[in-house]
Structure 1
Amino acid sequence: MSEFLQNSEYKKKMIKEFLKRLHAGEDLEAVKKEFENFLSSISPLEIPLIEQELLKEGITVKEIAKMCDVHVELFRKAVSHASKQFEALPDGHPVKTLYLENLEIVKDAEVFNMLAVAYSSTQDSTQRSMLYDQLVKQLKQLEQIGKTHYTREEMIIFPHIERRGITAVPTVLWTKHDEIRASIKLFAEFLHKNVENPSESFFDLLKQKAYQLSSAIVDMVFRENNIFYPTLLALLEEGEWVAIKLQEKDIGYYKILPKDEWKSDAKPIYPYQVEPKLTEKQLANLPPQVQAALSSAGLSLQQEPFKVSENDLPLEVGYLSLEELKALLNTLPFDITFIDKNDRVKFFTARHRIFGRNPSIIGRAVQQCHPPKSVHIVNKILEAFKMGEKNVAEFWIQMNGRFIHIRYFPVKDAHGKYLGTVEVVQDVTEIRKLEGEKRLLDWKE
């Protein structure tokens, strides 16, 4: 073991040196050639674990992603056998679905690159116009990769390995996903901006950008097929795949509709239900290289892993304690009032109130909470909700210089049975003034 630890430290040291030299501006090909023998000695399954250690020690995600690009190129031939593992899986298994999507993704990336070359090379204006339309259409198709394939990985699958303390893998993959999403958007803007009066240099640059984007997409397929998916198959239990399968359709698929050949009687297991550690059984099922790397990596799990308390209320999705539920309702910037199926006021939020309420109205008929002149309208709304004729009643008023939005919604159980009505009131004065966009990354302390 001590020999392996020394070996692991040596590998980290060498990769750090590699990244430092790239960061300092040295030529990528020259550095890659010098380090080629060293990099080729690293198992593909060790890379995510070394990345995990480097992230702990301060190496940035962008630097790791740069190293990954080189790593993918070096290991392209070494792990090309991985697809056989996925072909053997029954159709409908989430990994088989991801693999089949990747086949489509590779085809579409190659078609996109060929269209860009053809568009840039033709001199015929009619032909160019037709190729432009096809290129735009293909770009829109490539956008769907991020909305389906990548999003399913980020939102549904990443949490399963993060729960086990492996965070470097999803962090780096998500970074690469976002780079591809941004490149697709930037290419579309570049194409649209120059379509009217294209120059010769524009066509050369367009071919270069198309090749880079196509290569990035294909490289991601390689990384997933040969590193990410084998790791998932080694770590996740059958119940976890059942849970993943149940959630897939909510996000959607990329150009395929999974068959239902894969069946399992296992109970769904969600990430929060997984023990936040790698068990002896899981370690034993991992490839030898991963077992050795994990034994030296010293993965740090969350200090306070999420656990469902016996006092938590099981909601349709997730859990909340009574204390959390009270605080959540009082934090939401809405004035909320709920009346039950018998039209009695049963609850209202204590904060963010726009219309005055006091505890004396609890149990009072909602009709008696309104002026007599408007009671007939209240009854019409409630009747429409109970009969299933309406799903919302919406109003807005000006009050003390503020714009107030008022909505009523029928509240029903999972079987559609009427349980009551909720009134949601919001001051939308400032919201109505918003223009443009402000993203998460624009936030300043």
Structure 2
Amino acid sequence: MELNTYNKDHFTIGMGLRQKYCLSNPFFYGYVNVCRIIISEILKLTIERGGLLMAEVNPFIKDAVVQFQTGALSLKQIEAIFNVLPFDIDFIDVNDRFKWFSNKPNREHARSTSQLQDTLQQLHPGTAAARAQAVIDSFKKGEKQHVEIPLNVDGKLIDINYYAVRDNKGQYLGTIEYTGTINHLKELIDQGAWKQDATTGASKDGETHSSEKGDAVSGASRNEKAHSEKKSDATTGPSRLSMKDDRWIP
């Protein structure tokens, strides 16, 4: 098949014109074909590097900052914060698909990016999937906001919490699963870490005699204040047992 020769407007030059101009000017035919070869090579290179060229010209985000209601963080800071938190965080979206997980070392529940988009049935083994689905269904119905599952696995105290994630209008967005070990907290409790008074360092049982004296302004002792505070909490404030959050043991 005979090669076509093109003029400056990219139209094919007919045989009559080609003979008229090319034969009378031998350089014209060679010049046009050299240009054609150069253009072909440029097009070929553009196709081969198409992905790279598109990546270079398409919009992208660099060093982005997310403005929250309580401050601003860069994407790098956000990821670093999630990775350093001493517990696992998983997010299940509104369609019950696994969408994101914190990447801290030595997770209690190992996760990988290959699991992203998995269903609850794929993510949780055995009967755990049905239990997790029941929790999420209760969130969607607005029946619950939080479910806690304490487990003792070979002496390791694991605290699993499910939290419903909602927007400012109460619309369900998904579920956060938080998992952490609390052995160190139990050890601190056993060691009496919280028996000391937060302000004086003295234990409640060992408060000085002066602390039992009446307050200089009101005349009430600390014990009387504490007793009064407990009463107010019992009547007006929420106690831990009366919270809507449910402690659910499978």
TM-score between the two structures when normalised by the length of structure 2? 0.49
The one of the two structures with greater contact order (alpha-carbon pairs below 8 A, sep at least 6) is 1
TM-score between the two structures when normalised by the length of structure 1? 0.28
Higher strand share: 2
